[in-house]
């Protein structure tokens, strides 16, 4: 939910695709006539506030008589060490407690968030790609592919009370990414396993502010060290077709065209 504006989009069969609404005016009337709700997690950086916002949506959906909530959750939240798992588990439990039929799309990590063009291009220029993952792999999926999975769930039958781990068939380490960069650009990119202090110094060197560091994707990488983000699942491939899933290599190639 975001203050000050309302944004509603619909598709056929009364599927409510997208709502952004101020928490001060969000109520059942916003969801009037909606049979299916695609509930995209909020963006508040305060986890407790985000949970509270989510509860407002769930309560409004119950009062409005919404028949099915499709919620974008986090992959493997029971094992995750990412900082947002409690938000997503709390929301999943709230939806179940409300008695509303559901589908949980437990999305893995956005390729666009962890493989940022300017950062990868900088890595090619410097010949170094830093990581705090201790060599562990991460499962990346593009937002487009996640959106395709959501559309399939919203517009077809058989997904009620299902939980889908939306992951790619293969996980990648940052060493893999460095090798892909080397292959695509023809310039040697060295993989460097840095300490938190070294990575923080690197961010300072390239002009990232102290505040921005708190939310830099790289600074979240130590949360992957226990290996939970390496998990893979067939759900995404089954929903949209494995041949339609964009690999990190395909996405990186597009950055350097």
Domain 110-139+169-231+246-255 has CATH 3.90.25.10: yes
Task: Return d(Cα 63, Cα 46) in angstroms, integer.
Answer: 26
Would you list the DSSP string of 89-131? HHHHHHHHHTT--EEEEEE-EEHHHHS-HHHHHHHHHHTEEEE
pLDDT at position 68 = 97
Residues carrying CATH 3.40.50.720, the chain: 7-107
Closest CA to 163 of 75, 243, 242: 75
pLDDT at position 210 = 82
Task: Return d(Cα 22, Cα 229) in angstroms, integer.
Answer: 33
Residues carrying CATH 3.90.25.10, the chain: 110-139+169-231+246-255
CATH number of 7-107: 3.40.50.720
Pairing state of beta strands 7-11 and 15-20? Answer: antiparallel
pLDDT at position 151 = 95
pLDDT at position 217 = 66
pLDDT at position 79 = 86
In tens digits, the chain (257 residues) has pLDDT values of 333 334 444 343 444 434 454 445 678 988 888 899 999 988 888 889 999 999 999 999 999 999 999 999 999 999 887 778 999 999 999 999 999 999 999 999 899 888 888 889 989 999 999 988 888 999 999 999 999 999 999 999 999 999 999 999 999 999 999 999 999 999 999 999 988 888 888 888 877 788 777 767 666 777 788 888 899 999 999 999 999 999 999 999 999 97
Which two three-digit tokens encode residue 98?
Answer: 């409300």
pLDDT at position 208 = 77
pLDDT at position 218 = 67
C-alpha 201 chain-centroid distance: 27
Report whether 188 contacts 127 (CB < 8 A).
yes
pLDDT at position 9 = 41
């Amino acid at each position: 939910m975001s203050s000050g504006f309302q944004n509603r989009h619909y598709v056929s069969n009364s599927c409510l695709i997208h709502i952004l609404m101020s928490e001060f005016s969000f109520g059942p009337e916003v969801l009037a006539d909606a049979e299916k709700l695609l509930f995209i997690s909020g963006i508040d950086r305060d986890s407790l506030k985000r949970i509270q916002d989510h509860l407002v949506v769930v309560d409004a959906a119950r009062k409005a008589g919404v028949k099915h909530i499709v919620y974008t959750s986090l992959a493997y939240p029971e094992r995750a060490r990412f900082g947002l798992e409690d938000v997503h588990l709390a929301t999943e439990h709230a939806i179940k407690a409300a008695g509303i039929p559901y589908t949980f799309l437990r999305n893995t990590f956005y390729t666009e968030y962890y493989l940022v063009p300017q950062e990868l291009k900088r890595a090619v220029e410097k010949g170094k790609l830093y990581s705090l993952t201790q060599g562990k792999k991460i499962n990346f999926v593009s937002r487009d592919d996640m959106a395709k999975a959501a559309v399939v769930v919203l517009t077809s039958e058989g997904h009620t009370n299902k939980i889908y781990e939306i992951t790619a068939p293969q996980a990648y380490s940052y060493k893999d990414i460095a090798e892909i960069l080397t292959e695509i650009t023809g310039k040697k990119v060295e993989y460097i396993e840095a300490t938190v202090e070294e990575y923080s110094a690197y961010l300072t060197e390239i002009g990232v502010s102290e505040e921005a560091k708190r939310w830099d994707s790289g600074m979240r990488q130590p949360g992957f060290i226990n290996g939970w983000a390496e998990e893979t699942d067939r759900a995404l491939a089954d929903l949209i077709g494995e041949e339609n899933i964009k690999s990190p290599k395909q996405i990186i190639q597009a950055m350097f065209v």
